[in-house]
Amino acid sequence: MSSNESSRQHKPQSAEARLAALLLGDLPAADALKLQAEVAQDAQLQKARGSVESLLGVMRADPQADVSQGALKALFEKSRDLMAEPEVAQQADLIRISELIRVYLPRVAAVAVVVFTFGMLVTKLPEGPVPTVGTVVDDDGKQFIRAGDLVEARMGSPRRVTFNTGEVLLDGGTALRVSGGTGFTTPSISLERGRVAIDARSRDFSVSVAGRSVHVGKGGLATIELDVPYAHIDRAGAVVEIRRTTVKEVAELAKRTWGVDLYAGGLPQMIQEQRVSFYGVGLDSADFVQSFVAAASRFGVRLGNDGQSLEYRQASGSFDMESEQVLRIATMRGDARVQDAAGEVALSELSQNMVEFRTGTEAAPRNLEPERLGQMLVWAGGLGNESIATHLPGVNTSDEQLPQGSVIYTDKLVLHGEEDRVFVLNGPEFNFPLPGGRMGRLVGLMSSGAEFEVEGETAREFVPFRRLSEGK
Amino acid sequence: MPRRSWGEIVAQRKSIAKTEKVPTPTARNASRHELDSIEEKASTERTDFELLKLFVQRSSQDAFETLVTRHRRQVYNFIFKMVGKAEAAEDIFQETFLRVLKNAHTYTPRAKFTTWCLQIARNLTLDYFKREGLRRHASLDAQSDETERSMGQMLAGIVPESSEVLVSREMIEGVRDAVTRLPENQREALVLRVYQDLQYSEIAEILGSPEGTVKYWVHEAIGQLARWLERKGLS
C-alpha cells in the first residue's frame, strides 16, 4: 500500500501526531520544512512540540528491563521437561542428547553438589547465598561482585573488576551488568555504557554490548566503548556527567536542577537536536551553564545578552548530526571477534584492528582512523594497568592527577581553581603546568584523563583526573 | 563455516535480497556434516538458525538456552512494555519461548529469528489481553492520582534531595503506564518503534500491516500521549 493510499484511509492527524512524525524523521523533506516553518510562527505548535519532545525523551530514557533469573530458570526447566515428551523428542533425527541427560542427570547432579559444596568451603562468601563472581578493589576497600550486580564507575574514578578468568577495567562513566557465573565459571557481562578494557588473561572472555557479542580469546586484550546518551547530576557533590545529550534536553535539565531558565526554543531545530558531552565536579549553576554553552559552542550556540536565552550564530565550518549511539571495539593484543545477527568477524581481519558501529545504519561497520585507535590505547593505559601501559608507545603515565573541579568538554579542558584556565585541544601553546615544572600542550582528552605533549621532550604524558573521593 | 569479512557479510545480505525465489531451508534439513561443523563452533559463534538446527535435530538444550539468552531482553522488553506488569510479562515470556521450542522445526530464515519470536510474543500478548478482558485503551484520562503527582512533581522541577538522575523513575513509569492504555495496535507499533528501536519494515512484518499504517499508529500514539501530558499540565 502506498503512503497515499494509507493516508486516505486514516483520519487527518493532530498537530502532535504531525510533530511526532517530524521529530522521528518520518516526514518527507518538503513537508518537514513546511511544518518547521509553521512551528516557528505558532506558539501553540511550539508548546506542542515541547510536549512531544519531552515525551520522546522520557521514553528513550526508559532502560531495558531484563527477565528475572527465576523466570529464566523456570523456563529452562520446563523446556527440559518438554523436550523429553515424545512429540518434541521425535524431532531429533540423530543423537538424543536429552535422553543422555536424563540418564546421566542424577550422577551429574551428584557430582555438581559435591563440587558446589567444595566451592562453598574454599570461597569465602561475605554474606548471603549468592556466590561471589568477582571483586573490586578501590579506595573504599575490597568489594565483592555477585551475579545480578550493576558495577558502575563514576566519571574520573576508573575501577578494576577481577574475575577468576581475567580482568575488566572500567573507565570513568561506565556501567556493566554481571549475571550468571558461579565463582568457578565465567559470568555473563553486559556493557550498558562507557568504556572497558578486557584482559582475558587465563580464559576466553565474552561481553555482550548493544545487541552484539564480543569474544576475546585467551591471552587477548580488547577495548570496548559504548557511547550512548546518559545524564547524571549528583547534587550533593555537584558531579555532572552529560553524555551525548541533546542541546534541548540539557537546557531543560538546567531548569529542573538549578532553576536556570535557559530558553532553547529560539535555536534552529537541527541545533536543538545536536548532542553534547561534558563532565565536571564541584560545579554550581553558573559553572554548569558555562560548561554547557562551551560544549555547544561548536554548533554555533552561545548565551544571549540576557543570560537566559540561547542564541545561534552560524558556526564556521560544517558539522554532521551526531549519532545517538556509537559502539567502538578494538584489540590491542591477541584475538577478538564480534558477532551480530549478520554474522561474525575477527577484528584481526580489519586494518587498525578496530571497528565502529553507529545507530540506525545498516551499512557495514567501518575502520577507525589511527588517531582514534591511539585514544583507545591511551585511555586504557590511564587505568594504570602495566600490561596495557606497554601498548602505549611514546606515552608515559603520570602519578600526578589533574585538580579537583576539572571540567572536560568534547574538545577542551577547563580547570576551576583560582582562575579559569582553558586549554584548547591541539592548541599552539605549551601552557599547561605539569609535574616537575614542565609545561605541556593538551593533545588528547579521555574521560579518565588527558594526554599532553611535553615541551622539550619527545615522550607524551598521560595524566589521570583526580578521583572524586580525594576531593571530599 | 569459515569466518567472514564484513564485505562478505554485506554482499551476502544483498544477495539474499536478490534471490527471493530460492527455496529456503528449514531447521530440520541440515546434513550430519553441517551439524558436526556447527557443533565445532563456540556457542557465541553460532547464528540463530544454526542454533535452531542443533536444537531441532540434536535436541541440544544448550542451543535452546543460548537462543533464549541471546534474545531474552528484546522479547521480554516488548512484552513488559505491552502489559506493564512484570509477573504477567514473565509468564508470557516463558510461554513465548516454549512455543519457539515446540515450533522450531517450522522456522525458515525468510524472517529474522527475532521477528519470528516477536510475532509469537505479540500473539500471546493479545491472547492475554483477551483472557484478562483487558481493554484499557481510551482510558488515558483515568490515571491514578499517585501517578499524576509524581509525574507532575518531576516535570514541574521538584527534584529529590540527595541525587538526581535526569529522567526520574516516576516519570518513566508514569509514561509507561500511560502507554498500556493506548489502543493495542498503536501500543504495539509505538513499543516496537520507540522502545525497541526497530525499523518500520520490521515492525510491519511483525504486525502484518503496511508500513504506512504502522507509521500512522506510531504518530497517533505519540500524539495521544503528548496531549494527555498537556491536559495534565505536565509538559
CATH 2.60.40.10 fits B136-235, yes or no: no
B232 CA: distance to closest CA in chain A (Å): 11
DSSP state of A199: E
Determine which of A13, A23, A39, A59 to mutate to test the interface with B (most B C-beta atoms within 10 Å): A59
Strand partners, A197: A169, A223
Q: With bands split at pLDDT 50, 70 and 90, how would you rate the model's confidence at B92?
A: very high
Our CA dihedral for B164, B169, B175, B178, rounded to 10 degrees, sits at -150
Q: Whole-angstrom Cα distance, residue A253 to residue A230?
A: 12
pLDDT for the residue A7: 40
Determine which of A7, A31, A44, A55 to mutate to test the interface with B (most B C-beta atoms within 10 Å): A55
- The number of residues in chain B equals 235
Strand partners, A311: A302
Task: List every span in chain B annotated with CATH 1.10.10.10.
Answer: 136-235
Output the tens digit of pLDDT for each of chain A's 472 residues.
333 434 445 556 788 899 999 888 888 888 888 888 888 888 888 888 888 888 888 888 787 788 888 888 889 888 888 777 655 444 444 334 444 444 556 666 676 666 666 555 545 444 445 567 888 877 666 788 887 788 988 776 778 888 877 788 888 788 998 887 665 566 788 999 988 888 887 788 889 998 888 999 888 888 898 988 888 887 655 678 888 899 999 998 888 887 888 888 888 888 888 888 888 777 778 888 888 888 888 888 888 887 778 888 876 556 666 778 888 888 877 888 888 777 787 877 776 677 777 775 544 555 555 555 556 666 666 655 555 556 555 677 777 777 767 777 777 787 765 456 777 877 788 888 777 788 888 887 777 778 888 888 877 788 877 654 444 3
Strand partners, A199: A167, A221
Q: Whole-angstrom Cα distance, residue A224 to residue A193?
A: 10
The bridge status of strand A354-358 relative to strand A230-234 is: unpaired
- Cα B208 from chain centroid? 15
The CATH fold of domain B23-134: Rna Polymerase Sigma Factor; Chain: A (1.10.1740)
Q: Dump the DSSP string for B35-99.
A: HHHHHHS-GGGS-HHHHHHHHHHH--HHHHHHHHHHHHHHHHHHHHHHH--HHHHHHHHHHHHHH
Q: With bands split at pLDDT 50, 70 and 90, how would you rate the model's confidence at B219?
A: very high
Query: What is the chain A residue with the closest CA to B50?
Result: A343
Q: With bands split at pLDDT 50, 70 and 90, how would you rate the model's confidence at B158?
A: very low
Q: Which of B26-30, B165-169, B179-183 has the lowest mean pLDDT?
A: B165-169
Task: List every span in chain A annotated with CATH 3.55.50.30.
Answer: 232-312
Q: Whole-angstrom Cα distance, residue A215 to residue A209?
A: 11
pLDDT for the residue A363: 42
Determine which of B77, B167, B224 to mutate to test the interface with A (most A C-beta atoms within 10 Å): B167
Residues A257 and A283 sit within 8 Å (Cβ to Cβ): no
Q: Read off the pLDDT of residues B109-126 as tens digits, 9 standing for 90 and up.
A: 777 888 889 999 998 998
Report the residue from B70, B94, B162 with minimal CB separation from A74.
B94
pLDDT for the residue B164: 35
Cell numbers for B198? 526497530
The bridge status of strand A412-416 relative to strand A406-408 is: antiparallel
Residues B92 and B84 sit within 8 Å (Cβ to Cβ): no
- Residues in chain B with CB shorter than 8 Å from the CB of A210 are none
Query: What is the chain B residue with the closest CA to A325?
Result: B197
* pLDDT at B191 > cutoff 90: yes
Q: With bands split at pLDDT 50, 70 and 90, how would you rate the model's confidence at B79?
A: very high
Q: Whole-angstrom Cα distance, residue B189 to residue B192?
A: 5
pLDDT for the residue A92: 46
Please state, in angstroms and as integers, the Cα–Cα distance from residue B91 to each residue in A72, A277, A404, B80, B192, following that order. 10, 40, 50, 10, 20
pLDDT for the residue B43: 75
User: Looking at per-residue confidence, does A5 or B214 come out higher?
Assistant: B214
Mean pLDDT over B169-195 rounds to 86
Cell numbers for B171? 516519570
- Residues in chain A with CB shorter than 8 Å from the CB of B105 are 91
pLDDT for the residue A168: 87
For domain A137-228+329-372, the CATH architecture is Sandwich (2.60)
Task: Work out the number of other CB atoms within 10 angstroms of the CB of residue B73.
Answer: 16
The CATH fold of domain A232-312: Phage tail protein beta-alpha-beta fold (3.55.50)
H helices then E strands: how many in chain B?
11, 1
Residues B176 and A62 sit within 8 Å (Cβ to Cβ): yes
Q: Whole-angstrom Cα distance, residue B179 to residue B225?
A: 7
Residue A405 region, left (φ>0) first, then alpha (ψ -120 to 50), else beta? left
Q: Which amino acid is at A359?
A: T
Task: Work out the number of other CB atoms within 10 angstroms of the CB of residue A100.
Answer: 11
